[in-house]
């Protein structure tokens, strides 16, 4: 099997005549990236001239990276990689490095492998602001979501969002649009349905305690976390005190915003957090609920999402 470098070299010779190669080489030697490498590493032009194809690939692929909008459109020979130069034995060679977009993708995949919730509908996973149905009841929520995206993309520290409202008004869809927008800026995120998450974490306990800790760490450290449909499941003291309290404490400490979607107002959420079920009996613990709310209420902007129930409308149209 031919080495990739030899294939590229032969292709370059086919593409350029000697005069063209000389002109190209002189242009490459004047490129800012090449000049910088020569100065920093004290490499002579003579060494660089022996490695025309490597030099051409180095400049071309780094220029590609400057124009790159998303990983899927990467034109480089090794998708998601950019080359740096290394002098060795009187020649220069290329060292391929993972780009930031590939690193983000791998980190997202790592987190997805840790949190295997399957309760986020496909339409929400693909949601964008362009596909949101606009109406007066959603206007403030969409404005708040767009402002959140803009400020996060600019590197600002911002509060999370608490989307509340009736069933089917599009709270989760707007949250999904936020995450897909931020993904275009290379910002990792995670969206989990709270009920499904609770069941998954309970199942994890029986398998391996270390795995549970890894999942809690992933929830705690992802830059943007969406807790979808919080407040619908029967709450246990374990979910409240050993999961939500731990994750939200860590996120607040690290100034990481959390987005919530819920049918409950914040007051109703506090009431939900105060009641846990154990062996069929309810326990009322308002102080513990207040401790959780101290990690939610001051760190979110409440946004009410109004409008008709779109799920009901879709079902009627289908019939």
Model confidence pLDDT, tens digit, residues 57-73: 999 999 999 999 889 99
pLDDT tens-digit map of 178-199: 998 998 887 889 999 999 998 8
pLDDT of 12-37, one tens digit each? Answer: 555 556 777 788 888 999 999 999 99
Are 274 and 178 contained in the same domain?
Answer: yes
Instruction: Report the length, in residues, of the chain.
Output: 319
204 and 74, same structural domain? no
Q: CB of 203 within 8 A of CB of 214?
A: no
- Give the tokens for residue 289: 């609920």
- Whole-angstrom distance, CA of residue 278 vs CA of residue 235: 9
Domain that holds residue 83: 4-98
The reply to whether 79 and 124 lie within a common domain is no
Residue 272 corresponds to which tokens in the numbers above?
């939900």
Distance CA 135, CA 124 (A): 18
List, for residues 276-298, the tens digit of each pLDDT value: 987 778 899 999 999 999 999 99
Find the CATH number of the domain harbouring 291.
3.40.50.300
Task: Tell me, yes or no, whether 286 and 165 share the same domain.
Answer: yes
Q: Taking the model in full, what pTM does it have?
A: 0.69
Residue ending a domain, among 98, 133, 166, is 98
Show Cβ contacts of residue 62 under 8 Å, excluding neighbours closer than 6 positions. 33, 82, 83
Same domain, 33 and 177: no
Q: Give the separation between CA 105 and CA 89, rounded to whole angstroms.
A: 36
Residues 119 and 66 in one domain: no
Domain count, the chain: 2
The residue out of 70, 98, 126 marking a domain boundary is 98
Residues 157, 249, single domain; the answer is yes
Q: Which of 98, 120, 147 is the last residue of a domain?
A: 98
Could you tell me if 212 and 278 lie in one domain? yes
284 close to 275: Cβ distance less than 8 angstroms: yes
DSSP reduced 3-state for 94: strand
């Amino acid at each position: 099997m031919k080495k990739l470098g030899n294939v590229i070299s032969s292709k370059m010779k086919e593409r350029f005549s000697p005069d063209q190669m000389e002109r190209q080489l002189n242009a490459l030697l004047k490129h800012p990236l090449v000049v910088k490498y020569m100065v920093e590493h004290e490499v002579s032009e003579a060494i660089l001239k022996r490695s025309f194809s490597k030099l051409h690939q180095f400049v071309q692929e780094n220029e590609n990276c400057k124009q790159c909008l998303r990983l899927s459109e990467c034109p480089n020979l090794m998708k998601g990689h950019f080359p740096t130069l290394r002098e060795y034995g009187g020649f220069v060679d290329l060292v391929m490095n993972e780009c930031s977009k590939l690193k983000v993708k791998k980190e997202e995949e790592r987190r997805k492998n840790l949190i295997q919730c399957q309760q986020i509908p496909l339409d929400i996973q693909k949601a964008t602001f362009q596909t949101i149905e606009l109406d007066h009841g959603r206007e403030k929520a969409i404005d708040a979501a767009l402002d959140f995206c803009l400020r996060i993309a600019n590197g600002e520290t911002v509060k999370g969002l608490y989307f509340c409202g009736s069933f089917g008004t599009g709270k989760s869809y707007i949250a999904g649009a936020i995450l897909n927008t931020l993904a275009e800026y290379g910002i990792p995120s995670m969206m989990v349905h709270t009920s499904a998450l609770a069941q998954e974490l309970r199942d994890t306990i029986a398998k391996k305690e270390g795995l549970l800790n890894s999942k809690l760490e992933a929830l705690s450290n992802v830059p943007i976390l969406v807790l979808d449909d919080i407040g619908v499941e029967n709450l246990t003291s374990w979910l409240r005190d050993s999961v939500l309290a731990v994750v939200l404490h860590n996120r607040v400490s690290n100034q990481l915003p959390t987005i919530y979607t819920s049918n409950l107002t914040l007051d109703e959420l506090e009431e939900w957090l105060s009641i846990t079920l154990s062996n069929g009996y309810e326990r009322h613990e308002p102080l513990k609920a207040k401790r959780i709310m101290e990690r939610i209420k001051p760190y979110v902007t409440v946004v009410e999402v109004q409008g008709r129930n779109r799920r009901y409308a879709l079902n009627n149209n289908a019939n």
